[in-house]
Amino acid sequence: KIFGESGSQIVIEEFLTGPEVSVLSFTDGKTVVPMVSSMDHKRALDGDMGPNTGGMGTVAPNPYYTPEIARECMETIFLPTIHAMQKEGRPFQGCLYFGLMLTPKGPKVIEYNCRFGDPETQVVLPLLKTDLVEIMQAIWEEKLDQLEIQWKDESAACVVMASGGYPKKYTTGLPISGLDENGQIEGCFVYHAGTKLEDGKILTSGGRVLGVTATADSLRNALKTAYAGVEKITFQNAHYRKDIGQRALKALPEL
Ligand code: GLY
């Protein structure tokens, strides 16, 4: 009963296995344009152990999401979803999030969200070449089919630094050291998720505190830079996964 009355009903679902892929997409209700794929790491601890969290880190692109799988997803999931919403008289415009699992029986939808993902966005948007405002305008004007959306030929990695104990009980208000006066680290972009500024000091204020993100010519190099950034930042009981991107690296050819 930790969730009160919502715990009175139990839903039993099929247990699906396989690599997870997050595909955020732009849609104006008629056209759907998938963004660069990404991979979230939902469990709190290394080796995909421990409780589920909002996401402990991400990489993009997701090497399990091959062009062939992308084509299959477009035909069997993305377009049917957009067309079904149109048919119901509820066309959706904006960012549609497809949370997929690549099972032995093919790609399956785990969840839909009508929003960007966190921490997927942290690795997807830095790879976007086209101006996001131009894309938003095309969505608004229902002209997405007339826009060529371009992506950088790079990889991105984000390592989430969380408060010790997250996603269960954790302490906040702890000073964070290692960040510069803009709350950043050289070579990375640090997203502030659970921080606050008090008397000129940056303090923790949530479960997932920082998303330390880097882009590079390869996933290996993006991970190296993001982890080098993480090493420079400290706060009491800081917790982060040491294996972000390891599963993705296994799917890539050895260089
Ligand atoms: N990272 C999972 C989500 O944004 O729902």
pTM metric for this prediction: 0.93
Residue with CA nearest ligand 1 atom 4: 117
Domain-located, residue 246: no
Ligand 1 close to Cβ of residue 28 (< 6 A):
no
Considering the domain architecture, whether residues 110 and 186 belong to the same structural domain is answered as: no
Domain-located, residue 247: no
The last residue of a domain, from among 132, 153, 174: 153
Considering the domain architecture, whether residues 44 and 66 belong to the same structural domain is answered as: yes
Placement of tokens 């993705």 in the chain? 248
Q: What is the CATH classification number for the domain harbouring 176? A: 3.90.600.10
Domain-located, residue 248: no
**β-strands 57-60, 39-40 pairing:** antiparallel
Residue 34 CA, ligand 1 centroid: distance in Å: 16
Ligand 1 close to Cβ of residue 34 (< 6 A):
no
Average pLDDT over residues 222-239: 98
Domain-located, residue 249: no
Whole-angstrom distance, CA of residue 91 vs CA of residue 105? 29
Considering the domain architecture, whether residues 135 and 171 belong to the same structural domain is answered as: no
Considering the domain architecture, whether residues 149 and 219 belong to the same structural domain is answered as: no
Domain of 214 in residue numbering reads as: 155-241
* pLDDT number for residue 34: 98
Considering the domain architecture, whether residues 128 and 159 belong to the same structural domain is answered as: no
Tens digits of residue pLDDT in 38-67: 999 999 999 999 999 999 999 999 999 999
Considering the domain architecture, whether residues 201 and 144 belong to the same structural domain is answered as: no
Domain-located, residue 254: no
Considering the domain architecture, whether residues 127 and 77 belong to the same structural domain is answered as: yes
Ligand 1 close to Cβ of residue 20 (< 6 A):
no
Domain-located, residue 173: yes
Q: What is the CATH classification number for the domain harbouring 90? A: 3.30.470.20
Q: Which residues contact 161 (CB under 8 A, 6 or more apart)?
A: 208, 209, 210, 211, 212, 230, 233, 235, 238, 239, 240
The last residue of a domain, from among 153, 180, 215: 153
Tens digits of residue pLDDT in 90-129: 999 999 999 999 999 999 999 999 999 999 999 999 999 9
